[in-house]
Amino acid sequence: MKRCLSVLLLLALQSAAFAQLKFARLFSDHVVLQRQKTIPVWGWASASENVKVTLNNQSQSAKADASGKWMVSFSPMEAGGPYQLTASAKSGNLTVNDILIGEVWLCSGQSNMEWRVAQANNYIEEKKDADYPKIRHFYVDHEVMMTPQADLKSGEWKICSPETVGNFTAVGFFFARELYKKLNIPIGLLHSSWGGSQIEGWISREAMLTNDELKTYAQSLPDNWADADKIHDAKTRKNLLGIESINPTVDDERKYLEPNYDFSKWLSAGNPLGQWDWKGVWMFRGNGYMARTIDMPGDMTVKETTLGLGIQDNQNQIYINGNLVYEGIEKGVRKITIPANTWKAGSNQLIIKFGGMVNPSWYGLGLMGSADDLYVSAGTDKISLANSWKIMPSFADKHEYVHSSNNLGTTIYNSMIAPLVPFAIKGALWYQGESNAGRAYQYRKSFPLMINDWRKQWKDDFSFYFVQLSSYGDYQTSNQGSNWGELREAQTMTLSLPKTGMAVTTDVGNPKDIHPTNKQDVGHRLALNALKFDYNQDVLHSGPMYESAKFEDGKATLSFKYVGKGLIAKDKFGYLKGFEIAGEDKVFYYAKAEIIGDKVVVYHPKSMKPIAVRYAWADAPDDANLFNADGLPASPFRTDDWKGLTVGKKFE
C-alpha cells in the first residue's frame, strides 16, 4: 500500500511539473533526428490536453495522458535540413530550430568512451579538422536513480567546431568525422557514458529478471537509497573484513593503533596516491586508516626525520609503533617533523588515521601529490614510501556513501538510458569492460543481455558496435591466466548476436595507462563496421579472426576469417610474436609461428606435441603482431576451453 501511494504521489508530482507544454530535453535546438526511420517526438503538457506537433510539412496531434505525457510519430524522412519542430496547446507554444535529419549514434560505456577529443592524440591538429557544423553532440550528465526516469534534467546539442570539439567523445567524434566525409550526411552523437561503470548499471531491472545470472539480484533490489546504502555497507564490509556480519566498534578499531597490531589482512593499496574509490573502497565517505611497515637503519633513528605523506588536508593522527607523534591538519604537501629516537632500528609500524579531503571535498579518502612526496628522510638519507601500503575504512565512525555509478545495478540505465527511449537512432557504439574484467565469464551473458535489453526497449534491432579491450597491465603467460584475456573472449563471443561488430585495439593500447590516447584508430575501426554493414561500402571491417585449428605432426595450423589481402607480421624483423602452445599437461610455452599462405603454423622448437594454442592471451599483449595487409590487428584468441580465472565470479 505504501509503495502504491508513493507511485501515485510521483505521478502527481510529474503531472504538476509538466503542466506547462514542453518537449523532452533531447528535442532542442540543433538536434539531429534519424533519417529513414519513424521519428517519435514526445513531451509533456497538462493532463488530457490536446497537443499539435509539426515537423517540416508533417503535422500530428496527440492527447496528453493522466501524467501529462504525450507522443507523436512522424513518417521517415531523408537526410536534410535545417527544419523547425513546433508544438502548440492551450498551455503554450514551442519551437525547436536548426533541426537536421541524418544518422544518430548512441555512444556509451565507461571512461574510454567518455574520453574527450581534447585528451586524445594530436589535439591541436585535430582541432584544425573539426569545422563540421552538421556533426552534433549531446552529452548526458552523470546521474543514478532508483527507478526509470521520464526525462533528462539537463543537456543540449552542440554544433561541432574547433571551439567545441574538445568536449566531444573522442571515439565518437573520430567515428562521426569519417562517416561524414564518406557519406556527406549529418551525424548526431548521443553521448551517455560514465567512467569506471560496470555493465550491470546499464541493464534494466526488467531485463535482469529474465536472466538466470542476475535474476536473484534484481528481485532483491531496494526501492530507496537508505536501504541501498545499508546493502552497500554490508558488501563493503564483506569485501574488506571477510564477512558482512562483522561490524567493528570504536573499541575494535582503537586496537588498530596499538603496537604490533597485525594489519596484514587489510586491503593492499600499493601506491597510496589516488582516491580509495579506485582501490576497492567504492564511494565510502568517512574516516580511514592507512598503514605500512618501515625498515629503519639505526643511524637514522637518532636523528630528527621528516615524514612526507603527500597531500591530504583533513584531520590526521599519525602513530609510530603505537605512539601518537602528530595530530592536526596540514594543507598542501605534508612534511611532518619526527623527533629523534622516535623510530627504532629495524621494523616500524606507521599507521595514520585521517578523514576525507577537505579541498576538493568530492575526493574522499586518499592522497594527492606525487610518489616523490612519500618518504622518510634525515639529511641526505631517504626512504621511499611510495608503495606497500594497506588501507581500511573506519566502519565504527560516522560514514556514508556517495550515490554513484557502481553502488547499485540498473541505476545508470534508469537515469541515463531510459530517458532516451525511444529517440530514433541508427545504432550504438560501446566501449566498456575494464570494470567487469574480474567477472569476465559472467560478461558472456551480461553483455548480450544488455544489447538485447536496449533493442527491446527501443523496439528496434539497431546496429551495435563495440571496442574490444585494449592493452593495459601485465604481459603474463597463459599459465598465469588473464582476466582481460577472458573479457576479450567474452566480447568476441558476443559477435554471435546479429548486427554486431567489434574493433580490436590491443595494438593501440598503453600497458601503463588504462586510457590510451590513440582514439583515432578506435573510431576508424568502428567506422569500418558501420560503413560495411550499414552503408554497404566495399571495405574490410575486421582484422583476422581465429576460425579453426588442425593439430598434426607436432604443429598447429590455424585458419582465419577476414584475411583480406593476406596475413602479415607487423614487425621490422618480419616474424610473428604473441603465440603460446600447450600439450597434454596444459602447460604453456612461448612458440614459434610462421605465416604459410593464408594460415599460421605454430610449433615449439623442442618438438612437443601441442593440443592448444593461445594468441595475445595477456592483459597487455603489446608485442602481438599478427595483422592483415589492410592494417587491422588479429583478435586475441585461444583454441582450448580450459577453466579460466573468472569462472564463478558473480555480480553482487
180: cell is 561524414
Q: Which stretch of 331-340, 454-463, 492-501, 626-635 has the lowest confidence by average pLDDT?
A: 331-340
Kindly give, in sequence order, each residue whose CB lies less than 8 Å from that of residue 12, ignoring residues fewer than 6 positions away: none
Compute the distance between CA of residue 505 and CA of residue 490 in angstroms, rounded to an integer: 15
Compute the distance between CA of residue 164 and CA of residue 157 in angstroms, rounded to an integer: 11
Compute the distance between CA of residue 384 and CA of residue 379 in angstroms, rounded to an integer: 14
Using DSSP, state whether 10 is helix, strand or coil.
helix
Compute the distance between CA of residue 563 and CA of residue 438 in angstroms, rounded to an integer: 32
| Per-residue pLDDT tens digits for 485-539 | 999 999 999 999 999 999 999 999 999 999 999 999 999 999 999 999 999 999 9
Single-letter amino acid, residue 348? N
Match 592507512 to its residue by C-alpha cell: 290
Q: Mean pLDDT in the chain? A: 95
- C-beta separation of 620 from 511 below 8 A: yes
Residue ranges per structural domain of the chain? 228-401, 545-634
Match 587491422 to its residue by C-alpha cell: 632
Q: What is the pLDDT of residue 535?
A: 98
Mean pLDDT of 164-173: 98
Compute the distance between CA of residue 362 and CA of residue 407 in angstroms, rounded to an integer: 16
Helices (H) and strands (E) in the chain, counts: 13, 38
Match 570539439 to its residue by C-alpha cell: 165
Asked whether the predicted pLDDT for residue 377 surpasses 90, the reply is yes
Using DSSP, state whether 484 is helix, strand or coil.
helix
Compute the distance between CA of residue 483 and CA of residue 466 in angstroms, rounded to an integer: 18
The CATH code for residues 228-401 is 2.60.120.260
- C-beta separation of 419 from 150 below 8 A: yes
Q: What is the pLDDT of residue 338?
A: 96
Asked whether the predicted pLDDT for residue 473 surpasses 80, the reply is yes
How would you classify the pairing of strands 599-603 and 612-615?
unpaired
| Per-residue pLDDT tens digits for 77-117 | 999 999 999 999 999 999 999 999 999 999 999 999 999 99
- C-beta separation of 191 from 392 below 8 A: no
Mean pLDDT of 255-271: 94
| Per-residue pLDDT tens digits for 396-451 | 999 999 999 999 999 999 999 999 999 999 999 999 999 999 999 999 999 999 99
Q: What is the pLDDT of residue 265?
A: 94
Q: What is the pLDDT of residue 8?
A: 44
**Reported confidence tier of residue 606, pLDDT bands at 50, 70, 90:** confident
How would you classify the pairing of strands 80-89 and 69-74?
unpaired
Compute the distance between CA of residue 196 and CA of residue 274 in angstroms, rounded to an integer: 14
SS (H, E, C) 257-326: HCCCCCCCCCEEEECCEEEHHHCCCCCEECCEEEEEEEEECHHHHCCCEEEEEEECCCCEEEEECCEEEE
| Per-residue pLDDT tens digits for 215-253 | 999 999 999 999 999 999 999 999 999 888 889 999 999
Match 590491443 to its residue by C-alpha cell: 506
Compute the distance between CA of residue 396 and CA of residue 307 in angstroms, rounded to an integer: 28
609: cell is 606435441
Asked whether the predicted pLDDT for residue 330 surpasses 90, the reply is no
